[in-house]
Amino acid sequence: MEPPAAKRSRGCPAEPDERDAGAGAARGQGRPEALLDLSAKRVAESWAFEQVEERFSRVPEPVQKRIVFWSFPRSEREICMYSSLGYPPPEGEHDARVPFTRGLHLLQSGAVDRVLQVGFHLSGNIREPGGPGEPERLYHVSISFDRCKITSVSCGCDNRDLFYCAHVVALSLYRIRHARQVELRLPISETLSQMNRDQLQKFVQYLISAHHTEVLPTAQRLADEILLLGSEINLVHGAPDPTAGAGIEDANCWHLDEEQIQEQVKQLLSNGGYYGASQQLRSMFSKVREMLRMRDSNGARMLILMTEQFLQDPRLALWRQQGAGMTDKCRQLWDELGSEEEEEVAATSPRHTVFGRALLAGELHWNDAYLQRILASDSYGPSLTGSVGGDKPTFDPQGRPLWLGEPFPTACARVDTLRAHGYPRQALRLASAIINTLRLQRRHQLESYKQQKKELLQKGSTCITNTEGWVGHPLDPIGCLCRALLEACRLEEEALTLYPDSGPEKRKVAYQHVPVPGSPGESYLVLALEVALLGLGQQRALPEGLYAQDKVVRNEEQLLALLEEVELDERLVQVLRKQAGLLLEGGPFSGFGEVLFRESVPMHTCARYLFTALLPHDPDLAYRLALRAMRLPVLETAFPAGEPHPSPLDSIMSNRFPRWFILGHLETRQCELASTMLTAAKGDPKWLHAVLGSIQQNIHSPALLFKLAQDACKTATPVSAPPDTTLLGIALELGLQVMRMTLNIMTWRRREMVRWLVSCATEIGPQALMNIMQNWYSLFTPVEAATIVAVTGTTHATLLRLQLDTPRREELWACARTLALQCAMKDPQNCALPALTLCEKNHSAFEAAYQIVLDAAAGGLGHAHLFTVARYMEHRGLPLRAYKLATLALAQLSIAFNQDSHPAVNDVLWACSLSHSLGRHELSAIVPLIIRSIHCAPMLSDILRRWTLSAPGLGPLGARRATKPLGADRAPLCQLLDAAVTAYITTSHSRLTHISPRHYGDFIEFLGKARETFLLAPDGHLQFAQFLENLKQTYKGKKKLMLLVRERFG
């Protein structure tokens, strides 16, 4: 059959919020309505006034007035629907932008006056206060209506929006709430028919005089045509009357500005990349659904107009030409459009496009006799009909009807269609039949699995039974059923609402058990829970493409949000337990079954809901279900247990899993499930170790494992209670696993992880801390062990936390020193200094560390590290050891003639200062090293000058400081002076080889410094003069430069 009986767009049943002024007085005084009013109401709802006039030759004036009176809409719900958004406005704006709210405020503030109803036409003035410093604004509003629907509106505000402006709302609400105060006149043609010729002429002349600037040309044109005997106007009987209501053939529907709808959709599509545009389009889709639920024919009209604009979107051709896909936002809008198209019903092929599914809906029919019987009765069964015919069963063993005529998503789309078009009872009947069918199919599936169970378990894998899953399906079959069933159980007062589909922002509702007719002991609330779990627990393949995969996630979250609104009572808990058991036994048909398809959708989010709901009632079942759901099959086949990702701290691996665009999200949900179980299992060692085993087997991302470890540690150490040692041990074990997995992959997070691990071990006790120190090779790099583990493990705060006695404290220190020495041997370059620092208070350990440094120097330890350690020794009051290390560093150093800014310059000067302070013997020993390692003339002369400023300090034998400084011309400084002079000569020739005129000034300054060094020798004047003469002869071609030399030096 066709979708049950196409009724009028909108009837007028009495509602709590109606202001039925016409009968209010009578009812208020305890009197029934007059028969005239009752009859006039029914006529006003159903008949056009023209039909009344044709049916009866004479209609008394009082009857006409009552029909005209009752023809205006009587419910504010429709006014609200045509003047409100489909979604709540931004937070903070309240409802200020909503025309209905503004209109209500205008009405309540007394802004409506001069209201007049002439026939089927209502007019009035609205005075709206102006802004600060602005005058009051006056708007004239006109409304035409017919059969309890507003058919056209006009307002002086020139509103260009989809729905009625606030001024139209104010006038309409005034007419509904204060109907008795509105002056009522019959259609103007009735009044004119009572006038004689003189009265008519006076009426016309006064009308023209009052509005001559607007109507005079039209009046003259009409007069000319009437005076012309053969004119068209004289051939027509009667004259039009805009106040006389609609004709018999006129459509009876609410006013809808089609042009404005088309224009606005076109504009919003062109701005489709913006959030606001997408939100407004969704608002329009929501408004379509609201109209359909009210059985308003404008819902279909509006949807057609929107569809036409979507199809005319110029980007479609561009995308097709470029071979590019839609953006995600556009896909969402097209999906929503597709779901509105007659509440689309799709064929079974997963390759259908959005509109392919919608167009196939046209092939569906409602005239199936069996379907009609299901929709018509709550008690339809075999006893009522006998055999329907055909091979397919039509009833289950309990005699309840089944619906096997089409694919499951298609059948659910029928339910949504019935619900959306205002047929909730029929929707529930069909939903019950569909669920009966699902139950029967599940029973057959379980029987089939029991026969193949042994073979499947030996094989260890299965083929997917549902390539197109129900959750994430374009038709949202599970959501359709759940919403239809839950709507029947909702406990909330029917109230006027501005936002009928405000989604998750709707206020929380309560539900009650509503019995299912013909099924004793069952309720629609039970069916909703059962079908939701059946869909969520279905084993299904992850679809291809980012958008489709994201849709699976979003749809799953939406369904779970619906279930979380339902407060579980004992009856629902029993359903939950039964369904959980069936999911565990479901084999290849269940995502919780023992055998999974490699690319099936994981069950983590659903399992988390089930675990939380079942835990207070059946902990054993809750843990078994959640542990089974911890699997992530696509990773289980890629990595053996415990192996990390190729890039461990990145959850998603686009190189190895290009199809799994949401893998990172799925792994995060897996981690959340594990964290929930760990928290719940606190204090229960049995389940804690079971959860730990599952985590180690199934989670392969070190970043998520580390997060789990942190969560477990935090849970195990509450502020106001003693710690849970078992959970702390599990946190530590997870942390150790992360350390092993990421040992060879350095990231910025490693330092954070190492510090956390030490603090976690500290919480457990000294033995745990010493264990990680003793086994550091498999957990940490030498640098991490020496600079973080050993140091943090022996800080004052750590020792206070552990509250150790002296022997145990010394044992911990010894363990840390051993660790530091091992690290120094393995990586002396980075760990020698930390080892020395840690071993300061133990002589033997310190000596061992020092020896490691000396051995490493012979093995190639760099001069920079040796200088660093040498400075440390000087700081510790060990100058001779500092001198020894400095000489080892100088032996490895080489500074060329042009390296004035070498990084080691400061270290060399420090070493020279150290040797000078130690005495003549040390200074004499270091001079040959300086000459061999440093070839930079300015640096050599700087060292020479520093050494000649003061006498050298004490020597190794304790001799007194010399009374006067050393001379540059005497040993041991004479060798350094010769080296400096030679370096200046060599550097000068080197610079002159490729010198450019712009560097002449720098070279003259360089020669000035050279002269100062030359003059330190007894015959320095002669040497420098000879050096200059040699330059003049060798580079006489550089005349300008030589001229500058002569001007400066003669």
Report pLDDT digits (tens) over 434-491. Answer: 999 999 988 888 888 777 777 777 666 666 656 678 998 888 899 999 999 999 998 8
Q: Check pLDDT > 50 for residue 721.
A: yes
Q: Check pLDDT > 90 for residue 187.
A: no
Residue type, 306: M
pLDDT score, position 653:
43
Least confident of 34-48, 229-243, 315-329, 990-1004: 315-329
Q: Work out the pLDDT band at 129, boundaries 50, 70, 90.
A: confident
pLDDT score, position 339:
58
Least confident of 17-21, 953-957, 1037-1041: 17-21
Q: Check pLDDT > 50 for residue 705.
A: yes
pLDDT score, position 730:
94
Residues 6+ apart with CB under 8 A from 207: 215
Q: How high does pLDDT run on average in the chain? A: 81
Total-model pTM: 0.73
Residue 894's DSSP bridge partners are none
List the one residue out of 75, 61, 62, 73 whose CA is nearest residue 120: 73
pLDDT score, position 826:
93
pLDDT score, position 53:
75
Q: Check pLDDT > 60 for residue 20.
A: no
* Residue bearing tokens 């990680």: 772
String of b and e for 595-628 (b: at least 16 CB within 10 Å)?
Answer: bbbeebbbbbbbbbbbbebbbeebeebbbbbbbb
Q: Work out the pLDDT band at 199, boundaries 50, 70, 90.
A: confident
CA angle at 536 for the pair 534 and 541, rounded to the nearest 5°: 110
Measured CA to CA, the distance from residue 228 to residue 32 in angstroms comes to 56
pLDDT score, position 131:
76
Q: Is 118 helix (H, G, I), strand (E, B) or coil?
A: strand
Q: Work out the pLDDT band at 27, boundaries 50, 70, 90.
A: very low
Q: Work out the pLDDT band at 362, boundaries 50, 70, 90.
A: low
Segment of 25-34, 270-279, 345-354, 671-680 carrying the highest mean pLDDT? 671-680
pLDDT score, position 568:
92
208-214's contacts with Cβ under 8 Å and 24+ in sequence apart are none
- In this structure, the dihedral spanned by the alpha carbons of residues 909, 915, 916 and 918, taken in order and rounded to 10 degrees, is 150
SS3 content of the chain, % helix, strand, coil (to 5): 60, 5, 35
Q: Check pLDDT > 90 for residue 670.
A: yes
pLDDT score, position 383:
62
1025-1033's contacts with Cβ under 8 Å and 24+ in sequence apart are 1027/985, 1027/988, 1031/988, 1031/992
- Helices vs. strands in the chain: H and E counts, helices first: 49, 7
pLDDT score, position 351:
45
Q: Work out the pLDDT band at 316, boundaries 50, 70, 90.
A: low
Q: Is 494 helix (H, G, I), strand (E, B) or coil?
A: coil
Least confident of 551-560, 608-617, 649-658, 941-950: 649-658
Q: Work out the pLDDT band at 215, boundaries 50, 70, 90.
A: confident
Across the range 334-356, mean pLDDT stands at: 49
String of b and e for 165-181 (b: at least 16 CB within 10 Å)?
Answer: bbbbbbbbbbbbeebee
The total of other beta-carbon atoms located within 10 Å of residue 666's CB is 23
Q: Check pLDDT > 80 for residue 943.
A: yes
Q: Work out the pLDDT band at 6, boundaries 50, 70, 90.
A: very low
Least confident of 24-28, 31-35, 54-58, 557-561: 24-28
Q: What is the pLDDT of residues 916-938, one digit of tens each?
A: 989 888 888 999 999 999 999 99
Q: Is 540 helix (H, G, I), strand (E, B) or coil?
A: coil
List the one residue out of 308, 328, 218, 293 whose CA is nearest residue 548: 328
Q: How far is residue 114 from each of residues 71, 125, 170, 174, 182, measured CA to CA in Å?
A: 20, 6, 13, 11, 9
Across the range 572-593, mean pLDDT stands at: 90
Least confident of 353-367, 471-485, 604-618, 723-737: 353-367
pLDDT top residue among 277 and 42: 42
Percent above pLDDT 90 for the chain: 32
Q: Work out the pLDDT band at 567, boundaries 50, 70, 90.
A: very high
pLDDT score, position 350:
39
Q: β-strands 183-185, 112-118: how paired?
A: parallel
Q: Check pLDDT > 90 for residue 274.
A: no
pLDDT score, position 262:
77
How many Å is the Cα radius of gyration of the chain? 46
List the one residue out of 981, 956, 958, 976 whose CA is nearest residue 966: 976
Query: Hey, what are 910's tokens?
Result: 């420090």
Q: Check pLDDT > 70 for residue 959.
A: no
pLDDT score, position 303:
80
Q: What is the pLDDT of residues 854-912, one digit of tens each?
A: 999 888 788 999 999 999 998 999 999 999 999 999 998 898 988 888 999 899 999 99
Q: How far is residue 446 from each of residues 167, 282, 433, 440, 580, measured CA to CA in Å?
A: 63, 42, 20, 10, 14
pLDDT top residue among 203 and 250: 203
